[in-house]
Structure formats: structure tokens, C-alpha cells
Amino acid sequence: MIRIAFQGATGAYSESAARRLWPSGETVARDRFDDVFDAVKAGDVTHGILPIENSVGGSIHRNYGLLLEHDLPIVGETELTVVHNLLALPGTSITGIRRVFSHPQALAQCEQYVRTLPGVEVVATYDTAGSARLIREGGLRDTAAIASARAAEIFGLDILKAGIQDFQDTITRFIVIARDPVPLGPPDKTTLAFALQNAPGALFKALSVFALRDIDLTKLESRPARGLPWEYLFYVDVAVGRDDLRCTRALEHLAEFARWVRVFGSYRQWKVDGASPAMLS
């Protein structure tokens, strides 16, 4: 039985992403991203799903940090087009709203619309669907939530305004973690991190190990190295499986001069025009 942990309340976008991969799987809500990792590590669930990057808001840095803290491999990914809606208790009018609850990422993705609401206080919460639940449980008639249409259905709220995100093509990419390192499909993508000595040309040399082997980098991002002021580590996605000889040799080459290299997982890249193998199980 597939059991997938996700962060947030029932109706969260992460749950929708899990259901996209496993329509018949059991989803398990957890309060924090840390709790998703802990549930997978303890064997309470078979998989965990986590947002890692948004096409508008950028990377979810907390989850990159948790990948470093835990030894749980990435085994798959999926993408979800995000449609944000303004939700409130039945009978509430937009003119009567005094507060808007949602996750900081959702608030940032709907910034232009929120600005059109006069005198409204913006309140960041831990989750989009959780914001809808707070309104229902608290009977908050002067408050709206930014969340999914499914959250509106689950918590009995009205959609006052649909599709309020600033960009209509807002997409969130999610990764799947598990204890078992076997990928969900034939791997053609690898995620890794590495740190370099602070020396001239160090990053150029690091990236050249991929360029010399015609390996496409689909993501490159630097982040501060904890405890080392003004030192950085680099997160990289490459469009090749780890077992591909080009990738194997590139990683060996990189390890010759990097301070350390950590591979988070090799997995099948989500295909927009086709289903992931997990959807068939």
C-alpha cells in the first residue's frame, strides 16, 4: 500500500501533487516539512512529497536544507499548475474582508491581487489549506484564505475570486523521497550538491566537468554554507541518470577538487506530455 506524507492540511497543493502520482494512494498530512522527512525515516509512510521549486517564487530553501540533513534519496518528481483562489465563509463579501491568510509563497504569488483589497491585513500561515481550515474552525467572517478549490470544497468555503495568482502559468515542482533508493521510473535526471574551495575559477572548473561531457544543467543555485560566513555551496540538477557513464565520470572528476559532493538522487524527470510510471500503479 502506497502511503505518502505531505506538509499541510487536507486539500493542500502538496496533497494534490501526491494524488497526481498515486490516484489510489493514501495521503498522510503532516504539520511541517521536517515531519514529512521524519515520517519517511520512521517507516510510517512509503514516500514523502515536498515542494522544491516554484516557477514564480523560486526555490523552497528549507527543503534543500532538509535534504542535506537527512539521508533520504529523491526517487521521483512531479509538477502541478497552481491555481490560487480567494476563499471565505458563505455569505462573506469581498468588501467585508479585513484579513487574508495563506502560506508566504502563495501570498507572494498573489501579491498584485491582494494589493487591490483596501485596508486588508496580510497574515502568513504555515499552509494554504490550513488557512482555510482556520477560517472554518474559527468562524472568521472577516477573513479570507488563499488556497485551492479543493480546500474550499473540503472546508465548506465559497470561492469569492478564482485564479488570483499574478501569473497564470504558475507551476510548482515537487520531489518524492523514500527510504528505498529505487527510482519510480528509468532515471534521466540527477540532483546533487557540492562545495568548493574559495579560489579563482573554482566554479568554472566545477561546471566544466559537465560541459565537457555534454551534460545539460537544468538548475544551478548557490546557498550560504552554514557556519562559514561568505562561503557557499551549490545545488545542481543535471539531465542525465547517475549510472550513465558520462555522469559517473563527471562526478568522479568533480570530487577531485570539490570539498565535498553529495548526490541526493537519480530519478525520472517529470514529462509534461506523459504520465509518470507511478501513476500506473
Q: What is the pLDDT of residues 139-179, one digit of tens each?
A: 999 999 999 999 999 999 999 999 999 998 889 999 999 99
Q: What is the pLDDT of residues 77-103, one digit of tens each?
A: 999 999 999 999 999 999 999 999 999
Q: Measure the CA–CA gap between 236 and 255, rounded to whole angstroms.
A: 14
End-to-end CA distance of the chain: 10
Query: What's the grid cell of residue 15?
Result: 496533497
The DSSP line for 85-115 is EEEE-TT--GGG--EEEE-HHHHHHTHHHHT
For the chain, which domains are there?
Answer: 3-81+170-181 (3.40.190.10), 85-162 (3.40.190.10), 189-267 (3.30.70.260)
**Does 123 score more than 60 pLDDT?**
yes
Q: pLDDT tens digit string along 221-237?
A: 999 988 888 889 999 99
Does the pLDDT of residue 278 top 70, yes or no? no
Catalytic residue set: 172, 174
* 199 has a pLDDT exceeding 90: no
- State the pLDDT at residue 274: 47
Q: What is the pTM of this model?
A: 0.91
| Closest among 83, 84, 114, 82 to 99, alpha carbons compared | 114
Nearest to 82 by CA among 100, 64, 60, 97: 60
Per-residue pLDDT tens over the stretch 16-61: 999 999 999 999 999 999 999 999 999 999 999 999 999 988 899 9
What was the pLDDT predicted at 186?
A: 96
* Whole-number Cα distances in Å, 65 to 69, 71, 140, 147, 280: 6, 12, 35, 26, 31
What are the C-alpha distances in Å from 62 to residues 37, 59, 68, 91, 241?
Answer: 12, 9, 10, 38, 25
pLDDT score of 3: 97
Q: Model confidence over 131-147: pLDDT tens digits?
A: 999 999 999 999 999 99
Q: Is the pLDDT of residue 8 over 80?
A: yes
pLDDT > 70 in the chain, percent: 96
Q: What is the mean pLDDT of residues 196-225?
A: 94
* pLDDT at 280 (0 to 100): 35
